[in-house]
């Protein structure tokens, strides 16, 4: 068995009418005991606010574009894993959209993001003000309520 490690992960499923566009919201904080992990392919688009140490994302099972996100990143719908590589403690809040929610939430059609990883603010400029609010929120619950 693997070694135990401290990692807080909380999810929230939005209520109607938001649930039509957002599959889940999540909060993560802690340190993983390994260098990287694969994020399974999904039809969803995931926006992540990075609130702590930068996180490196590589598309296409490690063969695609790589970004080092210190403020946030967006993972487009993908059919190959994305490599997630925290550089230290993970401290992040995420929004997972439904298949039809990408454009409603982030303002861009999912086809333009397919298979890629992007800096969140370059795709969704409004994320900068949301991130500032998250940094002021005192608890995970307050952060999830903000997004």
Residue carrying the six token digits 């969704």: 124
Please state, for a pLDDT cut of 70, what percent of the chain lies above it.
97
Cα dihedral 39→10→97→87 (10° resolution): -40
Secondary structure of residue 110 in the 3-state scheme = helix
At residue 93, the pLDDT reads 99
At residue 1, the pLDDT reads 47
Q: Tell me if the domain spanning 7-146 has CATH number 2.60.120.10.
A: yes
Domain boundaries, the chain: 7-146
pLDDT, one tens digit per residue, over 108-134 is 999 999 999 999 999 999 999 999 999
Residue 31 pLDDT class (50, 70, 90 cuts): very high
Cα gap 26→78, rounded to integer Å? 19
The answer to whether the CB of 92 falls within 8 A of the CB of 51 is yes
Phi, psi of 52 (to 5 degrees): -130, -135
pLDDT, one tens digit per residue, over 54-78 is 999 999 999 999 999 999 999 999 9
Tell me the CA distances in angstroms from 61 to 32, 83, 110, one per residue in order.
19, 6, 19
The answer to whether the CB of 114 falls within 8 A of the CB of 108 is no
């Amino acid at each position: 068995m693997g070694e135990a490690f401290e990692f807080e992960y909380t999810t929230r499923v939005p209520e109607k009418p938001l649930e039509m566009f957002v599959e889940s919201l999540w909060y993560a904080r802690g340190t993983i005991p390994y260098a990287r992990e694969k994020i399974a392919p999904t039809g969803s688009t995931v926006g992540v606010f990075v609130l702590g140490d930068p996180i490196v994302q590589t598309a296409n099972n490690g063969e695609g574009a790589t970004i080092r996100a210190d403020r946030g990143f967006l993972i487009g719908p993908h059919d190959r894993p994305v490599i997630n590589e925290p550089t230290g403690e993970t401290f992040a809040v995420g929004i997972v959209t439904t298949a039809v929610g990408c454009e409603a939430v982030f303002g861009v059609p999912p086809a333009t993001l397919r298979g890629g990883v992007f800096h969140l603010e370059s795709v969704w400029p409004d994320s900068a003000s949301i991130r500032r609010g998250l940094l002021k929120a005192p608890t995970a619950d307050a952060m999830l309520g903000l997004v």
